[in-house]
Structure 1
Amino acid sequence: MARPVRVADPWFVIPTLDPESTADAARESFEAAGWYLAGTGDWAWVLASPDDTLAARITPFDPAFRLFAEACLAGSPNEFLVRVDGLVPLRHKGYVVLMERLYPVDEARSSRLVEALGSGSGSGSGSSSSSSGNGGGNATTAAPPDRSGELAGHPDIVDLRRRINDLLAVGARHFELWGGADVRPGNILQTPSGDLRLTDPLFVHGPSIVEAIRDGRAEALEDFSRTDLADFLRIPAFARGSETAALRAAVGELRLTHS
């Protein structure tokens, strides 16, 4: 279901996409409108708007980030949470998330926010890295003074902790191969003025999906259709080559209960 895009009169074009567009076609549409590649994670490509105010995160399949993005759209603003402006559906379960453009932050500052949230989960293997794209470029103004000592009891931190825990419970109910929390310094970015934002706190465990496909363990993949798994193998983590081709062939041989 399409979500309204909450962006006020940008001078650049936000492409109108057909719901049957593939992720590759969506990228081409954004590039044709002047958007440029700002970053590539495991699960998604991220393009930045021509004026560097917005990012478009494009994926053929990423159920964990969709859960997060929909919660951001439905919830109230939070000082430490990325601003999500819209979710545009693509073919099957692909989608584009439009969000604020963010930038890298030094690990000392991002680590303090992770500590305040109290839910770091290590490497988050299988999650999307720098999900807002915002691994390229630099913030344009100096960061504000550090306020880490005040963070743990900040009302928005308390609220964000609650939201993450709620989403973790939802994910665990829906996915056998749920990864859990991915609250780590690499998923904390900053606005041009230096305000910290959590961007990608959840993940489905991609390596376990790959292992189950390779081993033919259809029972471990019952949360996904054959189409889901085919689209999973189209995320950026899978380069063209014999290994990916073998995984695609293995998906075709799985005895799944739904296609």
Structure 2
Amino acid sequence: MAEPKVDGVTPKGSGAFAEVLARLGGEADHRDAEQAFRLAGWDSCGEGDWAIALRSPDGAAAVRISPFDPTGPYSAALYREAASTRQVPELFAHRRLAGGGDLQIMEFLRAVPEDQANAFQRTIEDRADLIEVVRRVHERARRELPWCGPLDQNPANVMRAGDGRLVVTDLFYADGPNLYATAAADPDLVVARIPESERRFLTEIPFATSGPWRPGEQAALRAGLAAADARAGLWSR
């Protein structure tokens, strides 16, 4: 039997996740996705500010699940368009989730010592084939996304693949401090610039590194955005 295709690609080991993705309906959100993968035997292997990661039972793949990630499609585009450089993760599948979430399945990666990561980061500008794609996709993100941040130079974004090569991940990110400060101070602006369907779970990102959320902060943001949505609905009538 031929292996199933996901996003037009026939990935290695797709049987490890294709059935899980097939069970997710079109309205599946990040909670549905996490539950489906955990039920299939995928275990926790990481958590950051924007997403959690689960590792496949065979250890070959990981799924990154975010409740809210506007830059997810641009990261997926980078991984696809720069695949020939072998300096980005091998992407097996990408899917947007209901409410603005994002799901990426890629080869499992391991952390590297900070000195190695910094050395790799310093050479990115010299890697002509990679940097050309990085700049092109990032420029597209900056044109199309409100609150798109600069390239992320965090050494934690450099990781090692199973074959030993170093790869760079998560170069694109939303400017979280600015976005969340604006959501608190001027929710009408956020409502005007990001559709509700793309920010429904804005308050559910883990904040594992920058957080935790302060008591009551998530509820206050949700209430402010809901009120702004209601005002926008009145204005549009």
Is 1:191–2:161 an aligned residue pair? yes
> Within 5 A, what are the aligned runs for 1:179-218?
179-218=149-188
- 2-structure distance, mates of 1:50, 1:256: 46
Does the 8 Å CA contact 2:88/2:169 hold for their aligned counterparts?
Answer: yes
Distance 1:200 1:184, change over 3 A: same
Does the 8 Å CA contact 1:226/1:256 hold for their aligned counterparts?
Answer: no
Counterpart in the other structure of 1:244: 218
* C-alpha deviation, 1:218, in angstroms: 2.5
Q: Which has the higher helix share?
A: 2
Residue of structure 2 aligned with 1:160, choices 119, 123, 130: 130
* C-alpha deviation, 1:13, in angstroms: 4.9
- 1-structure distance, mates of 2:177, 2:142: 17
Is 1:81–2:51 an aligned residue pair? no
Q: Could you list the per-position Cα deviations for residues 183-217 of structure 1 after superposition, in whole angstroms to 9, with x for gaps in the alignment? A: 33110000134310101111110111111111125
Counterpart in the other structure of 2:47: 40
| 3-state SS, counterpart of residue 149 of structure 2 | strand
Counterpart in the other structure of 2:77: 70
- 2-structure distance, mates of 1:175, 1:256: 20
Counterpart in the other structure of 1:226: 196
Distance 1:9 1:168, change over 3 A: closer
How many residues align structurally? Answer: 221
- 2-structure distance, mates of 1:176, 1:90: 19
Distance 1:176 1:20, change over 3 A: closer
Unaligned runs of 5+ in 2: 1-5
Residue of structure 1 aligned with 2:7, choices 3, 22, 33: 3
Provide the TM-score with structure 1 as the length reference.
Answer: 0.77
Does the 8 Å CA contact 1:4/1:87 hold for their aligned counterparts?
Answer: no
Identical positions, percent: 25
- 1-structure distance, mates of 2:7, 2:65: 15
Q: Could you list the per-position Cα deviations for residues 127-173 of structure 1 after superposition, in whole angstroms to 9, with x for gaps in the alignment? A: xxxxxxxxxxxxxxxxxxxxxxxxx3xxxx21111111112211221
Distance 1:5 1:19, change over 3 A: farther
Does the 8 Å CA contact 2:147/2:175 hold for their aligned counterparts?
Answer: yes
- Root mean square deviation, CA, Å: 2.4
Unaligned runs of 5+ in 1: 119-151
Counterpart in the other structure of 1:178: 148
Counterpart in the other structure of 1:28: 35
Does the 8 Å CA contact 2:47/2:53 hold for their aligned counterparts?
Answer: yes
| 3-state SS, counterpart of residue 178 of structure 1 | coil
| 3-state SS, counterpart of residue 179 of structure 1 | coil
| 3-state SS, counterpart of residue 156 of structure 2 | helix
- 2-structure distance, mates of 1:96, 1:220: 23
What letter matches 1:57 in structure 2?
R
What letter matches 2:201 in structure 1?
D
